[in-house]
A and B are shown apart, each in its own frame.
Chain A
Amino acid sequence: MGGIDLLYKLALIVIIFLISLVVAMYSTYAERKIAAFFQDRIGPNRAGPWGILQPLCDGAKMFLKEEIIPTNASGFLFIAGPSLSILTACIGSAVIPWGQHLTIGSHVVDLQVADINVGVLYIFGVVSLGVYGVMIGGWASNNKYSLLGAIRAASQNISYEISMGLSIIALLMLTQTLSLREIAEQQYSWHWNILRQPLGFLIFIVCAFAETNRTPFDLPECETELVGGYHTEYSSMKLGFYLFAEYINMFVSSAVMVTLYWGGYNYPGMYWMLAHVGTTIAPIIGVVVMFAKVFLFIFFFMWVRWTIPRFRYDQLMDLGWKVLIPLAIANIVLTGVVSTVLRHFGI
């Protein structure tokens, strides 16, 4: 790898990092605005025109708040918790292909930080690391409510990871690869995986809601019932990191869902565009399409949040273990049978 390439990779990492931070920042604003619209209100409109400076004000407020570390808290772990949480949230986006190969002059640019051949496994590794942030934070607080909240969160995340993994296996049986780039390439034009794996996608999106701790699975933090769950003892920007990590997770999981099931940067008529508009403009349109899909999913996350009430804890476990896991296994069997039959008849 030459020096230019290395420099380019660094630039791409920084850009993607910044994009995910800005998207997460404005997701908080979007959440408040969208919540307001769903409830026939206006939402934040005082800071700047239409309130667009609201996230900056919120951030400044978070930084200026008094930072309290409880006396009996475990000092190092107390800080490690939110750091780990936001770290795992940020590194998830590294394997996502944001667009086709972009040609600028004679230079071919790869719009993906790392095209590793175990991309899907990497995502899963990062997602399961996210539990540690919550668990460490809850434990280090030395507060029984925090610990109980952390246990709830951890058991929820671990339960739903299983059905998430099982729903992915059915998809991998069709794609025959773990590389997210190849999965995206396979879904050229309109051949999106959602058409082949609707049930798998349904299971995946339910699990994604649970993994990101979003309503209807937000009981790890449910503000109205617990005192704040695992982050009861957190204040200032450490609390901000926990909340912020949730929004970054939402962005990354939307991007993963788009890449795996909704065709990533592919859109009908992309080859016609590639031939007629050129190899610079067309991939950029692909990136725009990718982000449009991601934003639609973020909107969907918020839409669901302001529609559905929270699950009870036993209902949550019932859904995870008694419904989603059998359903995911059935989906694997069904996918295997159908694809074998189709291959037998040469379709």
Chain B
Amino acid sequence: MEPLSNKRKLIESKPLNFWERAYLPAIISGLSITMKHFFKKPVTISYPEEKREFSENFRGMHSLKRDENGKERCTACGLCALSCPAEAITMIAAERQKGEEHLYREEKYAAVYEINMLRCIFCGLCEEACPKEAIYLDGDIVPADYLRKDFIYGKDKLVEAPLNQ
């Protein structure tokens, strides 16, 4: 039968010659290969002292952004929570009171905003859903912890540091 492609290759299995059966030359060439690796520079990155460089579109820990005047952008619309496939985001909305205009950009804001980092899959859909450009996954790797409850991050950990004025 005509082969479909010309890639077919007949493999002959020759009986091993004396030196191949003696096994020693093979051992010696193997030893020389490992010895070459002995003097190579290790590829280890000693995390956390050294960190691998992240790519530009790396998605790490979330941060809730402030606008140019230092006001929180989030209006607690809930689109991020709705878009979240892992249902990691919960929030409680509140109305902005008089005298709080310098804190929140719109009349409604998130009084409580929590992300469960154990549920989050870092897909970035919240970032895409947000109409106010309030949430970005531009942080570092979420650090390890001991208790499950400590992985529920509130506004204290998520909101950007206030601008220095």
Could you tell me which A residues sit within 8 Å of B by CB distance?
A: 34, 36-42, 45, 303-304, 306-308
Contacts and interface: CB of A to CB of B under 8 A. Distances in A.
B30 A308 contact: yes
Contact of B34 (A36, A45, A307): A307
A38 B43 contact: no
Q: 3 tightest CB-CB pairs across the interface, nearest first?
A: A42-B44, A307-B34, A307-B30
Report which residue of B40, B43, B44 has the largest number of chain A beta carbons within 10 angstroms of its beta carbon.
Answer: B44
B162 to A, nearest CB: 38
Nearest to A304: B31
Contacts of B3: none
B34 A38 contact: yes
Given A41-B43, A42-B46, A303 B34 contact: yes
B163 interface: no
A304 B44 CA distance: 23
14 contacts: A36-B42, A38-B37, A38-B38, A40-B40, A40-B41, A40-B42, A40-B43, A41-B44, A42-B44, A42-B46, A303-B31, A304-B27, A307-B27, A308-B27
B35 interface: yes
A42 B41 CA distance: 9
A40 B35 CA distance: 11
Given A40-B40, A307-B31, 4 more contacts: A38-B37, A41-B43, A42-B42, A307-B30
B35 A303 contact: yes
A190 to B, nearest CB: 24
Contacts of A303: 31, 34-35
Contacts of B43: 40-41
Nearest to B31: A307
Given A42-B44, A42-B46, A37 B38 contact: yes
A137 B76 CA distance: 67
Interface in B123-155: none
A38 B34 CA distance: 6
A63 to B, nearest CB: 26
A303 B37 CA distance: 11
A37 B27 contact: no
A330 to B, nearest CB: 14
A303 B32 CA distance: 10
Contacts of B30: 307-308
Contacts of B42: 36-37, 40-42
B37 A40 contact: yes
A306 B44 contact: no
A37 B27 CA distance: 19
A36 B33 CA distance: 15
A77 B42 CA distance: 45
B52 to A, nearest CB: 15
A103 B97 CA distance: 95
A34 B43 CA distance: 15
Interface in B32-59: 33-35, 37-38, 40-44, 46
Given A307-B27, A307-B30, A308-B30, A39 B46 contact: no
B45 to A, nearest CB: 10
A45 B42 CA distance: 13
Nearest to A315: B23
A264 to B, nearest CB: 25
A99 B54 CA distance: 57
Contacts of B35: 303
Contacts of A306: 34
Contacts of A41: 42-44
A39 B31 contact: no
Contacts of A40: 37, 40-44
